[in-house]
Amino acid sequence: MAKKTGAVLMNLGSPDSTEVSILIKRGLIKDTAYQNYASGEFTPGRGFDMVRTKGGTLNISIYAIARYLNQMPGHQTWQDHLGRDRDFVGRNDFFWHRTMIWFSGWLGTPKLTYVATVWTVFTTQQALIYGNIAYKFDKHFQVAIGVGPNISGLSRTQSQILTYAGLAAVILLIAMNMSKGQMVRLLATWCLLMLAIGTPVLLYISDDGPADVMKSKANAIQSKQEERLKQAQ
């Protein structure tokens, strides 16, 4: 049985599998999903469906990295700043580096979705838990609330720039999708493009930004050079 829709060709084969061939610019992409309507379904690259009921769903997806460190031979020596020999103990082992676990699904209605993420890096002993709950009114409008991960290394000014830029982007996207006027859509698209170009520039030249940091380092180097010149005179 074959079903055609535009440039998409769907071949429905055996009852326990569905093969979808999507025509793209170069070649074909084949995705095989094994249908299992019981709890515990596994779809490659999409996690485990642990719960699937009329009242909601729960999918768990895991991403992890383990590394192998080899510093052999293990019996080596090194010298400290006083020229003394020190024993070096090399490592030759596997180490669990980091893990991310996603919990996702919907509750009550497929329009009410949730995502929770557990993220940890064992090397630096960091751990984060964040997520959100969203309600999709239609394909153009969605409301969500949640907690996002902290972005370390940003100054107060940079955080404010990102916050205001994000709010402006949301308003412009709503205007682009909800407005029926062609001029309004074009204006919103142009403003969104300018926002995408201007935000990185503002982050770069803001207080405690890369430009400010480089300027401070240059001033410090110049001050040291002037002091050395004074001492030499």
**Among all chains, which residue has been given the structure tokens 């729960």?**
58
pLDDT in tens, 170-180: 888 878 777 78
pTM score of the predicted model: 0.46
**Residue-range domain boundaries for the chain:** 1-35, 38-150, 154-233
DSSP summary character for residue 36 = -
**Rounded CA separation 20/117 (Å):** 30
pLDDT in tens, 53-77: 888 899 898 888 888 888 777 678 8
pLDDT in tens, 136-181: 888 777 888 877 766 656 777 887 888 888 888 888 887 877 778 8
The pLDDT of residue 26 is above 50:
no
**Rounded CA separation 80/88 (Å):** 11
**Among all chains, which residue has been given the structure tokens 């070096």?**
88
